[in-house]
Structure 1
Amino acid sequence: MSETLHSGDANKRRALTEQAWYPSRVGDRLIITTEATEQDPCWTETYEVSHDTEHGRLLLHTDHTAAEQDLEMTGWFVGPPKAPGSDPFEAPWTVAGPDRLTIIRCGRVIHQGHNAAVDGEAGTGGE
């Protein structure tokens, strides 16, 4: 796999870095929503931005609502960013997509994706 960003990834990264709340801060919480399918209900997983002296800011996996058969799908974004100097939110933003993310800072929602869980239920995808 190439180390260079594809144009789509570069556009997604630019969209992230242009957010008023960017960059992530220690203590920020990230909730990723996986939409329901015919076989599985909607589920979420929660990460928190932390810091360690070796890696800097990184994501800790703190919670999930996945059913037992979906457990292998949780925790994908744990740890420091893969690319040195990048933000811990970059991979979830570019892979899961901003519409599936809720970001909370100091108890306040600072980003709410259209398809992200709201009070435990996935959004409608509308405006």
Structure 2
Amino acid sequence: MSWNFFDGVEMLLDGLSLLGSNSDTPKRRHGHSPKKEQGKGKYTEKVSAVCIAAATVLFIIVFKDPLPPEHYIQTLMVASLIGTAISFVLFFVLYVLGHYYFKNFFKLLLFSSSVILFSVSAVLYIYFKTGLFI
């Protein structure tokens, strides 16, 4: 039995269709109205704005004084990786709970980048200002 390239593509698309289902159909079956989802966009933008504002304040606090000259680039890289990993875990938890759904790519990008920025700034604040790891 020969294996065709298109059979593999078909299996891949079938698997992806099982993972990603249409999110409008179950909500309409349970009686949710489209008006309830209009407020979610504003909620996403508000959460993103709060994350960006908090990250700005934390970055100002961290970088107000000069960083220690010993391995500061390596420290910034590791803190950035830790903050990004924490935010990816948060994104996965939101996805599993069904709250990681966006109507357009811009809102997804805005929310994701603001949460990543906030988590990186929080890790840097914890590392430099609290002295927890020193």
TM-score by length of 2: 0.24
Larger Rg: 2
Higher relative CO (Cα under 8 Å, sequence separation at least 6) belongs to 2
TM-score by length of 1: 0.25
